[in-house]
Structure formats: structure tokens, C-alpha cells
A and B are shown apart, each in its own frame.
Chain A
Amino acid sequence: MRKIFKLAKREYLESVKTKGFIIMLVLMPLVMGGSGIAMLLFQGQVDTRDKRIAVIDHSGAMKDMLLAAAEERNKAAVIDSKTGKKIQPSYLFEMIAPDAARPQAQKLDLSDHIRRGELHAFLEIGPNVAHPRGDQSTFRITYHARNAAVDNIRNWLNNVLNNHLRRVRLTEAGIDAAKADEIFAWLQVEPLGLLSADEATGGIREARKSSEAEAILVPLILFFLMFMMVMMGAIPLLSSTQEEKTQRIAEVLLGSLKPFEFMAGKVLGGLAVSMTGATVYVAGAMIMLNITGLGAWIPVRVIPWFFAFLVLEIVMVGSYLTALGSACNDPKDAQSLTFPAMIPVFLPMFLAMPILQEPTSAFATGMSLFPPFAPLLMLLRKAAPTGIPAWQPWAGLVGVILMTVFSVWMGGRIFRVAILMQGGPPKLSRILRWAIRG
């Protein structure tokens, strides 16, 4: 064991003492969560230039309402009352009389105004919008702009126009428009967890409010964290073993170590690298969540499973990658083997979302009990708020332990032959022959 630890220590220090490791440690979560962080960073970046919008109102009933709503909105939203800074654009509506003789030419003319930057958009309101029946073209509301689909003004208009039209219809139906707010009141169905008995006090503990972010983000973050740790600790073993073989370091080491000790030392070094990364991220996340008042999001019951599955995943994947690395004679061999070797790690990525949506389905259960996928997928299901039967993580764990023992045993048989075998590409038939014959 002493020799295994000595080699593992060298492997570990060689990885973590480099600037690259520190940079990777910082950059990896930034890259993985880059889009979310970018949204947070740039959400305040709004074009505050006033937006002029022409309105062709065929109904003739929207002008006053629209101008009043815009004025109210501009008063409330455009200037930050604390800083006095302009934080939103003003919406400036200009009513235009419809050109009944040349309707298309009028709209083309307005479009050209938009192209020249003189207008932001134009809105056309159909004549029968208050009574949307019969010919659909008579109650359409169209919004024309350069980027109409994702334009915030369109969303604002949706609310303003529809609320107004509903009030008009209520009034016509003889209902007091003053009651409209109550009629239109929209009540959310709140997502809550389960109540639990408090054994200490004998009382009942209130259910905790859950959010989509917590339900999806927490399992996914743990899932991707394990994936990243495999990339960090196990995947490099393939190329580093190939390098040691090609540079004849392997033969020097085999003067001091048995082949199995050699392989075990490398895998243990990779495991230590992954555990360092995982500990930094988990501890960092726990501190951050506690500081930001989201301590309840910390999946305390899942974290031991995360580390247990991570250890087994690294040993399982690391063993066969080290064995495959020993069969390679140059970097090209290693490159060509890297992708197929990573398939058991990549495939769960494609299954993650369907399984997270239905974590208790037969498909999800079956996939998460399949030993090569179990570390990633069982962890994902275990972290989902739905919960899974208590026996399943244990069954998954036993399967992964057996698979890991098999991977180490088979990897050792391949490694001890392949590490000194020069020449010839790493064909599957040769690797299988070494695995069977030893």
C-alpha cells in the first residue's frame, strides 16, 4: 500500500500544484453555469431610448385607454425613484388614422419609418376586437417591429389591451366594471413539500415551500458536478498512462511496483484530484447558500450518497481508462480511444432531463440501476424532491460496487500485459484477449 500511496501522491500533486488545476477549478462552474450567470450580470443592460409606436386603431376605441396606460407606466417605471436615473424606455404612442383606400401602402410606409429608425414599431388593432366573432381578420391585433417576437412592448400591450377589452365586455354584459379586478384575480397554486412530525416537540412541522429552481437545479447541479469530477480525475488517466508507457517511465516504475500497484496508484491519484475538486465545490456551495439565506436548499441527505457514488465512479471509470491507456502506443491511439471510453459517462447526460421529470418511472428506475449509469442517474433521482424508494439507492450502490470490482480486476489483467507491449494499435480483440487470458 505504501508504494500505491507514494505513486498516488505524485499523481495528485502533479495535477493540483499546477496553475491549470486552479484555473479549471474556477472556470468549470463558470462555463457550466455561464448562461445563467451572464443573464444575471447583464439583466440590467436595457436600451433606455424612448420607443415611439404608431397605432392604427380600426376599432376607434383604444386611443384614450392606450395613452393613459402608457402615461401611467412611464411615470412608474422609467425613472428610478431612488437614484433618479432612467432605467427603462418611455413608450410613446402616436395614433394614426387608418388609410382605408391604401391600407397596405400605409403599413409599408410605417415599416420604412421603422427601417430608418424613426419609429420603433407600429400596432394595428382590428375593428371588432371587443367582439371576436366571425371573420378572424376583423379582430386581429398585430404588432410590427424588427424583432417583434421577443419585444417586451408586445408583452406589455398583450396585458393592457386584453384587460381593457375584458372590462369593456363586462360593462356591456351589465357587470360593474369596478368588480373587474376581483373577477380577474389570478391565484397561484403554491408548490409545497410534505408536512412532517417533529419528534422533539411532538408537533407538526410545516411544509416547506419548494421552487422549480430547487426541484430541478439541485439534482442537476449534483449530477453535473459528478460529471465534471469524472472529467477532472478519471478521464486524464487514459492519456497520462499512454504517456508513461510511451516515455518508458512505466518500465522504470515497474522496477519498483507490481503492475497492479502501478494502476492502483494512478487511479487513487485521480480519485484524490476529484475528491479535492468535489469538496471545494460542495463546501463552497454550502457556504454560499447559507450566506444567501438559501440554506434549506442544501441536500444534506444526498451529499453522503454523492461522495459514495463519486468514489466508485472514479475507481470504476479510472480503472478501465488506465487499462486502455496502457494499450495505447502514441497520443493518436489515446485520442481515438477517448471518445468510446467516455460513452458510459456521456450517455447519462442525455437521459438526465427525462429522468428528472419522471424520476419514479420504470424507465428511470431501470436506467439508474444499470451499474455503469447508476452513480450519475441514481444520484439524480435521489436528489429529486419526489423521492425514491429507500432500497433503490442501496441496490444501485451494490451494483456499482460489483461493477467497480469487475472493472478493477479486468483493468488489472489488461494493464499488466499491455503496459510493456510495444507496437500494434489497441484493437478491441487484443484488449479482450489480454482481459481473458491475463
Chain B
Amino acid sequence: MNVIEIENVTKTFGEVKAVDRVSLNVPQGSIYGFIGPNGSGKTTTLRMIMNIFYPDSGTIRVFGQALRGAASERIGYLPEERGLYKKMKVRDLLRFYGELKSGRKVNKEVDEWLERLDLSAWARKKIETLSKGMAQKVQFISAVISGPELIILDEPFTGLDPVNLEAIKNAVLDLRGRGATVIFSTHDMNVAEKMCDFIFMIFKGRKVLDGTLISIQDEYGSDTLRLRAEGGISSLKNLDGVEKIMDFGGLQELRLRPEADHQEILAQIMARTRIYSFDLAKPTLYDIFLRIAGPEVEEAARA
């Protein structure tokens, strides 16, 4: 069963088409990652799912219903920009947000979440005294405190240190484990690859990727030669059959042309230098992202 069904939705702001005929289905119990460059339409799409913005055309059904202007009690929402009352105390604020959403007392849940995210000592402190990372965790709790079935998180990992990042990631996975459906947008391809069941990429308002990581990678085939070689990048320049080289210092990724034979390319390299290790792989999400939205695509489009 799909929790969200988006069909041919368009949203325009003035002259700018923020979302252009996008369709998407989000299955129940899944983690759906929204990726795309800044200004591509991720937040607008999430806001339309939340009914904060109304689409100009197309339909959005959440839990099988077309909601109009109704913020559902079944949806938890973490907006891209953090919005907390600075003068309120942490526990009071979480109770307020939780009770506003669910209509019931959430004292127990507030204490559990504060404990879980290591914020119990800050429960009586005002929001304005918290660090950015702590405020981020409080904002996350406010989105999930009411126990929603669908959780929409707009860039939940931005600005977190590795410890807090791990804590939020585990919390998200735990919520999914309890049956919740989670959608989050992110610029961290590594996180999206590891956490998401499905990945949706939007670019210039249009859907460019949608599916599981494997299905997306399959579209591109095994066209990436990942290797460690003596001399690094300097030994790999001007190879026939190589479209692009991505240099990670001790490791290089070679994107092969569709007609290229990786054996021939390996032979070319071995003729120049020693190869310590190699692996013929599918492209990473990071690479796919750049292939769709990288600067060379922009340059090609301009040309």
C-alpha cells in the first residue's frame, strides 16, 4: 500500500516552475530519500505533501485521501529551516508541539525522547541556551513526538556532528522499524545510499530518478572502474575509453564510455604503472548525482 501518491503535480511561483509534472508513490513502511541540488524542488514537493503549499495542478493523496489545507495528525514534519520558540523551555516546547499535533498528553514520550537523545539535562533550559546540534535534536523530537505514521524530514542531518548524526539516523531507522514511513531530503549521498529503500531525485523541478538504489545503479550498468595505482591520478590521464576520472587521493574512479572494454583500459594502465587493486563497480549515488546535475551537464546544456 502506498502512503503517498503524487500524480502529475506542478507548482509554479511567478515565472519559476518549482515542480513540473512530478509523479511519485511512497510505499508504507519505507524510507524514501529525496535528493537534488539546491533549489531543485525538494522542499516545495515536501511542503505540498504537507499541504502547506497547494499544487497548481495534479493530485496528492496521503493515506489514500486528498487533503486540502489540513495538517494531518498522522504526519510528523521537520521543516528545512528550524523553528523553535527561543524563550520556551525544552520540555514545555516539546509538550506544546506534541499536544498541538496529537491532541493528547505526551509527557511520557517527551521524557523518553529527551533521554534517548541525551537531552534530559537540558529539559528545563530555554531553547536559546542550546547549541545548534542540540536545537536540531529538539526539532527532530518535535517532529516525531506525537508518534506519526508518516514522518517527513527536510534535511534532518544538516549541521550535525558524527555522534548526533548517528543518534538521529538510528532514531529514524527505529521509527521505520516500528512501522512508520519516513521521507527525508538530504545532500549527503552516503547517508541516502545507506539508509534509503527508495531514492527520488528531482532536478529543475522534474523527476530524474526514482527507485531503489540497485535499480537506479542498474540503469547505468557497471561502468565504473575503481582502482589504486602507483602514481595516482598522474598515471591515469588521457586513457582511451575513459569519460571522466574522479580523484579521491589514494583512490580513483574511472567512468568508462559505454562502448569501452574495461580489460583494454586495465591493459593501458598496466602498461604505464603498477595497479595495487581494482574493482569494476556500479556508479555510486554521488557519481550519479553529478552525472545528472554536475557542472559539465550545465555546461553541455548551455553549449
Which A residues form the contact surface with B (CB < 8 A)? Answer: 2-3, 6-7, 10, 14, 244, 247-259, 416, 420
Contact = CB atoms under 8 A, between A and B. Distances in A.
Interface of B: 47, 50, 52-53, 69-71, 75-77, 79, 81-88, 96-97, 99-101, 103, 139, 142-143
Contacts of B50: 254-255
A7 B103 CA distance: 12
Contacts of B76: 255
Contact of B100 (A6, A258, A259, A416): A6
B82 A248 contact: yes
Contact of B101 (A247, A249, A256): A256
24 contacts: A2-B103, A3-B100, A3-B103, A14-B85, A14-B87, A247-B83, A247-B86, A248-B79, A249-B83, A249-B84, A249-B85, A251-B79, A252-B84, A253-B100, A255-B52, A255-B76, A256-B101, A257-B100, A258-B69, A258-B70, A258-B71, A420-B47, A420-B52, A420-B53
Contacts of B85: 14, 249
A416 B77 CA distance: 18
B103 A254 contact: no
B96 A255 contact: no
Contact of B97 (A14, A248, A256): A256
A427 to B, nearest CB: 15
Contacts of B96: 6, 10
B81 A251 contact: yes
Contacts of A10: 96
Contact of B79 (A252, A257, A258, A259): A252
Given A248-B81, A248-B82, A252-B84, 10 more contacts: A14-B85, A14-B88, A251-B83, A252-B79, A252-B142, A255-B79, A256-B100, A257-B71, A257-B100, A258-B70
A414 B195 CA distance: 40
A257 B51 CA distance: 10
A197 to B, nearest CB: 56
Contacts of B103: 2-3
A252 B78 CA distance: 7
A416 B51 CA distance: 12
A253 B71 CA distance: 9
Given A3-B100, A6-B99, A254 B81 contact: no
B87 A252 contact: no
A259 B84 CA distance: 18
Nearest to A249: B83
Contacts of A3: 100, 103
A257 B99 CA distance: 12
B109 to A, nearest CB: 15
B233 to A, nearest CB: 43
A258 B100 CA distance: 12
B91 to A, nearest CB: 14
Contacts of B82: 248
Given A2-B103, A6-B100, A255 B75 contact: yes
Contacts of B87: 14
Contacts of A2: 103
Contacts of B142: 252
A244 B86 CA distance: 10
Nearest to A3: B100
Closest 7 CB pairs between A and B?
A255-B77, A248-B83, A248-B81, A249-B83, A252-B83, A251-B79, A256-B101
Contacts of B52: 251, 254-255, 420
Contacts of B79: 248, 251-252, 255
Nearest to A18: B87
Contacts of A416: 69
Contacts of B143: 255
Contacts of A251: 52, 79, 81, 83
Nearest to B76: A255
Nearest to B43: A251
A257 B69 CA distance: 9
A253 B96 CA distance: 10
Contacts of A7: 100
A10 B52 CA distance: 22
B50 to A, nearest CB: 6
Contacts of A257: 71, 100
A252 B70 contact: no
A250 B100 contact: no
Nearest to A250: B83
A122 to B, nearest CB: 66
Contact of B71 (A250, A256, A420): A256
B89 to A, nearest CB: 12
Contacts of A6: 96, 99-100
A17 to B, nearest CB: 10
Nearest to B99: A6
A3 B81 CA distance: 23
A420 B88 CA distance: 23
A70 B103 CA distance: 81
Contacts of B75: 255
Nearest to B139: A252
A233 to B, nearest CB: 19
Nearest to A244: B83
A252 B69 contact: no
A248 B86 CA distance: 11
A7 B100 CA distance: 8
A18 to B, nearest CB: 9
Contacts of B84: 247, 249, 252
A255 B81 CA distance: 13
Contact of A255 (B53, B69, B71, B88): B71
Contacts of A259: 69
Residue from B52, B53, B79, B83 whose CB has the most chain A CB atoms within 10 Å:
B83
Given A247-B83, A247-B86, A252 B77 contact: yes
A414 to B, nearest CB: 15
A416 B99 CA distance: 23
A248 B84 CA distance: 8
Contacts of B97: 252, 256
B81 to A, nearest CB: 4
A235 to B, nearest CB: 19
A46 B83 CA distance: 60
B290 to A, nearest CB: 29
A41 B169 CA distance: 68
Nearest to A258: B69
B100 A254 contact: no
Contacts of A258: 69-71
Contacts of B47: 420
